[in-house]
Structure 1
Amino acid sequence: MSKKITVALAGNPNSGKTTAFNAITGARQHVGNYPGITVDKKQGTTYVDGREVQVIDLPGTYSLTAYTMEEVVARSVVADERPDMVVDVVNAGALERNLYLAVQLLEMGAPLTIALNMMDEARKQGMRIDARKLQSLLGVPVVETVARTGEGIESLMLTAVANGDKLAGKPWEPLVISYGPDLDPVLEEMIALINREQFLTDRYPARWVAIKYLESDEEIQRIGRGLGAVATELEARAREVADHLEATLKTYPEAVIADYRYGYISSILRQGVVSRLDALEDRLAVSDKIDQVLTHRMFGPLIMLGILFLIYQVTFTIGEVPMGWVEAFFGWLNETVSNLLPDGMLKSLIVSGIIDGVGGVMGFVPLIMFMFVQIAFLEDSGYMARIAYMLDRVFRFFGLHGCSVMPFIVSGGIAGGCAVPGVMASRTLRSPKEKLATLLTAPFMACGAKVPVFLLIVGVFFEKNQAAVMFSLTLAGWVSALLVAKLLRSTIIRGEATPFVMELPPYRVPTLRGLMIHTWERTWQYIKKAGTVILAISILLWLAMTFPKLSDEQLAPIEAQRAEIVAQMEAAQAEGKDVAAFEEKLSEVNNFESEEALRNSVAGRVGVALEPVTKWAGFEWRTNIALVGGFAAKEVIVSTLGTAYSLGEVDAEEAQPLAERIANDPHWTRANGISLLLFVLLYAPCFVTVVAIKQEAGSWGWAIFSTVFNTVFALAVATAAYQIGSL
């Protein structure tokens, strides 16, 4: 057969599914979102015996019951897109739990192949798994794999494609499991009703729909209510059996169904599928031994802080060299374009608006890459899950969930992250209240866009303690996020806390290929942002800082002063005198003109208008311009400060670096610096993050609230810091 075949990869979180996807597709993949939903949609292609195979990486999920958006998406893709084959990637070391998803896929009737993944780790734990026996009992192909090394991946794809061809064109055959004397009779009645009325049978098997009603699946109920009275009758029968179970057994249908599913799985595994070596039964697994240290009640958090601080040191120590290369390249580009183009608006736009704006952001790509490599290592090694485990008790006190740790870290809990994927990562939280509190506070973290501002100010005022101050800023972000979360969860986002259940995957050594793929995916998102959003913002800011121009009346006294100095300098030259003093005066006039032009521009007028409020935090009008630009993207604050301090119009040979200019400016003190650092850390998320909050929260109301509340909060903190520091 020559037609293209579609394979969907399913699996629990931490089962190695994404690693398998990367091993199968390599660089032939792309990432987007499912239509109307902010859930990652990863697709890629591979070739099996010269035949094209499209691979869909479904969101990681423990079940097909619609508790989370990931579960809704996973089952919708299986049901609606009808892939030729579903490959369920299971963690061989936790087979009983992982097969729960496989059983649900079989109940759906989906064509299934099981990838028995992480076999190397299962063997290290003393487990022996008879894959042929499991295949015989389940009635679907089972292939042993080690995705991180690529072992078994080729065999898996050959088996999946062959199995897909074998089942092509055949109707799906759902697995039938008995759910006991309380549920089976009701199920049969519901199945008969569903078949008679053709209720959702074009999408799902009738038995599967009936089970979903017994499980009180909100998504199926929502779809069904739009299809008439059948849904009402099905819900009524589900309520009746639920009341009966509550009255007789003090339980509910979902629990009974789960018990019978696990009973079915257990009966299979007990038939010689899984065994252990006697010599290893009483030995702790390597991961357990490591966890005795790394998740120790006292030493675990201290080790975690040490690891985070080490990441800081490594990033800024090693990343400084390639960062200098990138900055040198854009400096050369600036100089080259400046020499090629004649003076005028076009040259100003390209040099100041585009090259300086985008170049200032791109200069931090090496730092971002080093940060993402280390974060990917922590994730792939299994340590990131331990961080969530250790912090759950702390987070619960502040009204958050242990799973909130990941959004915080991705947002910049380890400096260099980005709030956009951090906000999107909050979707893993099942409680809407905890999710909302998480995505509203995640932007307090020290994201990579804020790092340039931190480096600038810390380098000026805390030259001897840069690493310590940077680390303190990171901790300040965490503390602020937790305190605000506590405030929100005690007032406008009240609700019960949900239990923390998270798999602690075994420690593993990440592969270089996996690290590179994960790092590139995140770095490419940053680069795309620089080439699109930041480019547009830079041009808009250039326009706002350039127009309107000074009028002829405003320019007249400046031109007269310049002409007088030029005449005096020419006279001195004619007499053979030193003209250095005149050149300095001329430079001062040029700088004064640039400053007046900036003050007269739209941006300048906004900056001046804000001064009565921001002066209490130590900000004057030029700083205000940069901070207003930061509402769009924090990356532009440094480049905007440079232009605002009249550096853009001065010859490169005469211009002082921005840090030196700030250090020499009498307005700037250490109190100003601390105030600015805290304000930038805490104030409104960038525009792209605001949009992400809107998508995740479901309304613009919470996105606007985040912008206003964070800014007011940041101004209050910055004002307090400045006033205390000024004493």
Structure 2
Amino acid sequence: MMDIAILGNPNTGKTSLFNQLTHSYEYVGNWSGVTVEKKVGKLRAATGNLIDLPGLYTLSPLTKDEKVASTFLLEGKFDGMINIIDSSQLERNLHLTVQLLEYGKPMMIGLNMMDVAKRNGLAIHIHQLSQQLGVPIKPMIARKGKGCEQLDAEKMKAPSFHLQYDDIIEEAIQQCESQMPAKMKHTRWIALQYLEGNEVVQQYLQQYVSLTWLEAWMKDTEKNVKIKHNIALNKLIYRTRETYIEELLKENMITSLLKHKASSETIDRVVTNRILGIPIFLFVMYVMFQFTFDWLGVPISDLVDGLISGPVTSGVEAGLQWIGANAFFQSLFIDGIIAGVGGVLVFVPQIFILFLFISFIEDSGYMARVAMVMDRLLEKFGLNGKAFIPMIIGFGCNVPGIMASRSMEQEQERHLTTMLTPFMSCSARLAVYSLFTAIFFTSHQALIVLSLYVMGIVVALIVAKILSITKYKNEKSLFVIELPPYRIPYAKTLYRSTWEKGKGFVRKAGTIILAGTIVIWLLSYVGPQGFHVPIQESFMAYVGKSIAPLLSPLGFDTWQAGAALITGFLAKEMVVSTLYVLYLVPNTEALHVVIGQQYTALQSYSFMVFFLLYVPCLATVATLKNELPNTRSMLFSIALSFAIAYVLALCVYQIGRLLGF
């Protein structure tokens, strides 16, 4: 059984290759840090595992996710490596390749995006390049699955690669190797990485070699390099590799004399324009919401609602009567499970349409442009454009959004982005927006939902500004992002990406929401006086009534609203399920009538504003606890969200009343 690791720069197609070679599918995107932890899948063609490691430019880690790769090379158990390279960006990609060759493990190179290289007028002497590097090189187009089958683990070869560095560095490597334990492997690579400043390697080696000796050795080497070359040690190592790569490409790559005009540059002049960039992004979001609601999502959701409230409910009811189920179980299934879970499933088509658009934006190459456009704005608020990527991912789900913040280079900026991401309106909130906008804002659903998404972004920016000059100050921002070429996503890729994002929503409906709905129904069925009490006298009513006075200044003081917001902490979709159960309605149309009688348009908008911001769901809270430095920071984040939600909803309702709405 062989375990093979995939390593490469971001945007080279590592995860696409992973999908082709295994039965698994992993999240694919167009920015640094999409794979924030190692992913493992079973190889199709052989016995063994394929391990997808984070995208990185160098083995000296700058970000949290890049440390995963260096740690894996030091401590992981694997048999070989596939280094996947973007053939249209050979010079940049080969810096990592050289470091992997120095590592010495059996490997092969997947020369990906050969179609892009050809369009750019590049011709590569693959056989000659393979001979010079000492490992097999296979051309491929991973997104189309072409050439992937040639990456056979049996053909991997341990390289006999040796790049000669300056005499001072070579002598230092020998000195360090002499201090290492006899059984230690990859000693030359470890010494080089230590000299280059790889923190993971430095911490590792200090377990085996005296720290006093290492510090003196490092100091002497840096001093000698400075005297001889007047340059920093790590820069001399980098320059040596750079010179080698330049010579390698002169011998093995031909650039067409015909000038190739990249269409990406033409499009970028418009979509990344200083003036037009943000309006174009807002227009894209508006179109996305028009499809999600008015043009496509609502009609499909209405069909699903008719199916659940009609044939499904009637069939279950008839089946329960046929088996002689008592009133308790009939109410549990009809008023509890079908009403609650079915009420959430009604919105599944809209959720999937939203995920389809997000997948399209990612795979088309536009996502990185949005980050670039937003960098100018975010810079004024103490962040950089890369922080906007976790926020956009947060539109789908806050949890992977927070995880994507690991690609941020600076620690404080990463923590700040982590705290801001829950302000983004995730897909689970969409069910509540769809419910209220369909009742009160029929002709302007997309516009109202867009206003909520923009409000989340604006709140995040204001909080970022305040925290960047108080809690997270005195750290210089660093923004480096690669702009991949534009491309039309393949239908198969969009399908798989959309399904992977959306299936979690469906799975949640069958697990957390199902269990939660049963508990909510039971609490609404039972009260201090016993079973089958009027719902106004149930335990759920008492819980809702206890917090209703707190919500009264915000315009929604019904006990049902209070109870629904409490269950929303478990999962945001639970708010809709709770309302179905507590209002005892059989379908969405009946729920619309009840809510339309109890709320006004202003009250409903205030409710949506509060719901957007009030507290993250339980899964997001758990992720915050893992990603923030301590529990106090996590509690501060939750308290801040609630305070902002309360103040904003209060302003919306009270100012709206003064204006006569």
What is the TM-score when the length of structure 1 is the normalising length? 0.83
Partner of 2:298: 320
Among candidates 98, 104, 107, match of residue 93 of structure 2 = 98
Partner of 2:547: 610
Partner of 1:588: none
Task: Give, in angstroms, the shift of residue 97 of structure 1.
Answer: 0.5
Please state if 1:330 is matched with 2:268.
no
Between stretches 464-473 and 181-190, larger displacement belongs to 181-190
Among candidates 438, 449, 460, match of residue 428 of structure 2 = 449
Q: Secondary structure at the match of 1:399?
A: coil
Task: Give, in angstroms, the shift of residue 263 of structure 1.
Answer: 1.7
Unaligned runs of 5+ in 1: 32-37, 556-592
Please state if 1:190 is matched with 2:187.
no
Distance 1:253 1:362 in 2: 60
Is the 1:59–1:71 Cα contact (8 Å) retained in structure 2?
A: yes
Partner of 2:193: 212
Partner of 2:32: none
Among candidates 515, 530, 540, match of residue 536 of structure 1 = 515
Among candidates 102, 117, 120, match of residue 122 of structure 1 = 117
Is the 1:86–1:113 Cα contact (8 Å) retained in structure 2?
A: yes
Between stretches 327-336 and 692-701, larger displacement belongs to 327-336
Task: Give, in angstroms, the shift of residue 535 of structure 1.
Answer: 2.5
Distance 1:455 1:307 in 2: 19
Partner of 2:341: 358
Partner of 1:624: 562
Partner of 1:239: 219
What does 1:37-436 align with in structure 2 at a 5 Å threshold?
39-48=36-45, 51-154=46-149, 156-157=150-151, 160-164=152-156, 167=157, 175-194=161-180, 197-198=181-182, 202=184, 204-227=185-208, 230-242=210-222, 245=225, 251-271=231-251, 273-280=252-259, 283-316=260-293, 317-331=295-309, 332-341=311-320, 342-412=325-395, 417-436=396-415
Is the 1:434–1:497 Cα contact (8 Å) retained in structure 2?
A: no
Task: Give, in angstroms, the shift of residue 424 of structure 1.
Answer: 1.2
What does 1:472-551 align with in structure 2 at a 5 Å threshold?
472-550=451-529
Task: Give, in angstroms, the shift of residue 698 of structure 1.
Answer: 4.6
Distance 1:495 1:547 in 2: 56
Distance 2:508 2:230 in 1: 54
- The 1:174–1:294 alpha-carbon spacing in structure 2 relative to 1, beyond 3 Å, is same
Among candidates 631, 637, 658, match of residue 575 of structure 2 = 637
Is the 2:135–2:159 Cα contact (8 Å) retained in structure 1?
A: no
Q: Secondary structure at the match of 2:135?
A: coil
Q: Secondary structure at the match of 1:662?
A: helix
Distance 2:453 2:364 in 1: 23
- The 1:309–1:249 alpha-carbon spacing in structure 2 relative to 1, beyond 3 Å, is farther
Task: Give, in angstroms, the shift of residue 217 of structure 1.
Answer: 2.2
Distance 1:264 1:710 in 2: 52
Task: Give, in angstroms, the shift of residue 624 of structure 1.
Answer: 0.9
Distance 1:527 1:642 in 2: 18
Is the 2:114–2:141 Cα contact (8 Å) retained in structure 1?
A: yes
Among candidates 626, 642, 662, match of residue 595 of structure 2 = 662
Is the 1:66–1:72 Cα contact (8 Å) retained in structure 2?
A: yes
| Larger RCO: 1 or 2 (CA < 8 Å, sep 6+) | 2
Letter in 2 for 1:128: A
For residues 535-594 of structure 1, the C-alpha deviation after alignment (integer angstroms, 9 at most, x for no partner) is 232233333333334369xx9xxxxxxxxxxxxxxxxxxxxxxxxxxxxxxxxxxxxx73
Between stretches 458-467 and 627-636, larger displacement belongs to 458-467
- The 1:608–1:489 alpha-carbon spacing in structure 2 relative to 1, beyond 3 Å, is same
Task: Give, in angstroms, the shift of residue 145 of structure 1.
Answer: 0.9
Is the 1:221–1:231 Cα contact (8 Å) retained in structure 2?
A: no
For residues 129-178 of structure 1, the C-alpha deviation after alignment (integer angstroms, 9 at most, x for no partner) is 11112111111111111112222222x22xx33323xx5xxxx6663323
Unaligned runs of 5+ in 2: 28-34
For residues 108-149 of structure 1, the C-alpha deviation after alignment (integer angstroms, 9 at most, x for no partner) is 112121111111111111111111121111111111111122
- The 1:91–1:551 alpha-carbon spacing in structure 2 relative to 1, beyond 3 Å, is closer
- The 1:23–1:349 alpha-carbon spacing in structure 2 relative to 1, beyond 3 Å, is same
Q: Secondary structure at the match of 1:238?
A: helix
For residues 460-506 of structure 1, the C-alpha deviation after alignment (integer angstroms, 9 at most, x for no partner) is 22222222111111111111111111112221222413321111111
RMSD: 2.5
Task: Give, in angstroms, the shift of residue 298 of structure 1.
Answer: 1.8
Is the 2:133–2:161 Cα contact (8 Å) retained in structure 1?
A: no
Q: Secondary structure at the match of 2:144?
A: coil
Letter in 2 for 1:161: A
Task: Give, in angstroms, the shift of residue 244 of structure 1.
Answer: 5.4
For residues 222-250 of structure 1, the C-alpha deviation after alignment (integer angstroms, 9 at most, x for no partner) is 334444x5234213322343355567766
Distance 1:235 1:21 in 2: 41
- The 1:335–1:253 alpha-carbon spacing in structure 2 relative to 1, beyond 3 Å, is farther
- The 1:612–1:24 alpha-carbon spacing in structure 2 relative to 1, beyond 3 Å, is same
What does 1:591-610 align with in structure 2 at a 5 Å threshold?
594-598=534-538, 601=539, 603-610=540-547
Distance 2:646 2:245 in 1: 57
Is the 2:513–2:571 Cα contact (8 Å) retained in structure 1?
A: yes
Distance 2:590 2:510 in 1: 25
Is the 1:85–1:111 Cα contact (8 Å) retained in structure 2?
A: yes
Number of corresponding residues: 644
Q: Secondary structure at the match of 2:529?
A: coil
Q: Secondary structure at the match of 2:143?
A: coil
Asked which structure has the greater CA Rg, the reply is 1
Distance 2:549 2:216 in 1: 64
- The 1:161–1:313 alpha-carbon spacing in structure 2 relative to 1, beyond 3 Å, is same
Partner of 1:584: none
- The 1:221–1:540 alpha-carbon spacing in structure 2 relative to 1, beyond 3 Å, is farther
Letter in 2 for 1:286: S
- The 1:178–1:352 alpha-carbon spacing in structure 2 relative to 1, beyond 3 Å, is farther
- The 1:237–1:541 alpha-carbon spacing in structure 2 relative to 1, beyond 3 Å, is farther
Partner of 2:603: 672
Is the 2:313–2:338 Cα contact (8 Å) retained in structure 1?
A: yes
Q: Secondary structure at the match of 1:116?
A: strand
Partner of 2:31: none
Q: Secondary structure at the match of 1:450?
A: helix
Letter in 2 for 1:657: A
Letter in 2 for 1:60: G
